[in-house]
Structure 1
Amino acid sequence: MKRGTMLIVFAIACGLVAAGTVYMYLGRAMAPKPVSAETVTVIAAKSAISPRTKLTQDLVYVREIPVEAVHPKAVRDIDTVIGLIAKYEILEGEQIILDRLYREDERIGLVSSVPGHMRAVTVPVDEVVGVAGFVKPGDRVDIIVTASGVGQTGDVAFTALEDIEVLAVAQETEDKNQGRAKVSTSVTLAVKPGEAERLALVEKIGKLRLALRPMFASATKGQGIVAHDLLKEVKGWSPPKTSADSGETRQPAATVSAAPAAAKPQTSAPAVRDSKAPSIVEVIRGSQITYITLVEVGEVSQP
């Protein structure tokens, strides 16, 4: 009996010791950790900042937080972020991280390449119009237009815009081919608002052609030329002759009275046809010229 009683007492004592040890361990583990008194300053957002928003003094502030809560890439100096643009949404109170901002030299698509007072306009090109694919982003070009002329002048060609910057070729805003030619179907240009309207109109009335400018081109502009002036330089060419050039006398166009004249009885013999060649009358109505052939007396025939 004594031996059994001693075993029971020993077991109870071991249990009490184990319970006490567990209690002390849990008490230490669940005790609140001492708060560090050391803090640092970081830059945080005053309110939610939308993507592509330029950071200003009104959107950020200096915040003090414990050292343990500081993000490794958090910005400490407020002047570092002023003027930069947010890539993604930044929540209220969130620490400003440089990886979530666009750098000053980093492009935000095509919109960041357009100067503030300019507009981006795209024109279609092919191998010929686009200078065989040698036009690259950053180059400068002249835009030449060819259109149909009026009358004897023939077709015309003139420089519509000069010294225009190329923003993009197709969907590329950078020269990834290192200067090698690449034929594309479109070119995006940086033009002023008034030039954008002019470009849209000349594209409708004629055909465009890009002329690649040298890197240090002088400010020269073509005067335009018409087909008539160009053909005059060809030896042996002469413009089409008109009735005035052939020596024929101009006669006024025949007019018809509003009220018909009273019919007179014809007592004379039928008119004898003139054996001479028929006369040709030139009628000018505004900018339109019409030629009328007088076949016989009293009758007019228009070819």
Structure 2
Amino acid sequence: MNPRQRRGVLFLLAAAALAVAVFVAVSSYVSQVESQVGPKITVYQVTQPVDPYSPLGASNVEAIEVPRRWAAPTAITSLRELEGRRVGFQLATGTIVTSDMLIPSTDLDPTEREIAINVDSVTGVAGRVRPGDRVDIVAVFSEVPGLPKQVRVLVRNVRIVSIGGRQTVPDDTADTAGETQDIVPVTLALKPKDSLAVTYAGAFAEEVRLVALPGDVGTNRSQEVDEYDAGDLGGKAIPEEAQ
């Protein structure tokens, strides 16, 4: 074998060794990336802004694949879990939907109805109530024709079903146009007759307030008063003149 042939063989061996080294390096890199990324799963993200309490479904969510290790443990992985479900706050486009965003499905018994009322930081007990808590609902009547100006307990021992996210809405009671107020929708489980009373108060009472109760409230609350007006302060409760 002459020198030229020997050099050719050496070049071939060097090229083969380099190819093997490159293959090993690429394989190692791919394996490392796969070990970091891992298998993928299907999750769902919203395709457009979703308003609070709007139903989710195929029209506003889409399936995407993400590495399992990057997905939240509570991420929704089935469209069936999302169909018709709602969230209590605004979702931006691209938000991945998780189970803790969804309003719990109703667990009402046949004698209960759900109704939502808006409260603020004062009427909602400064955010201290949670789903499952029990509250009294109190209304302040001051400008309803035929009714005395009074505070009245509408319903006692009401179960809170869910609490929505904080929203900013126009303040209709403000003297200056353009002012806003922060509200929080609270969903309550009520008997049908009580739901009418709360709806009436929400429309005509000056204020509807939640009153938080201790966790060990007994069944005997007969000593508590249901109404309070000027007569309890030594004055005279005079009904407003009918208009």
Q: Fold match, TM over 0.5?
A: no
RCO higher in structure (CA 8 A, sep ≥6):
2
From the CA coordinates, give the structure whose radius of gyration is larger. Answer: 1
Structure in which a larger fraction of residues adopt helix: 2
TM-score (norm 1): 0.35
TM-score (norm 2): 0.43
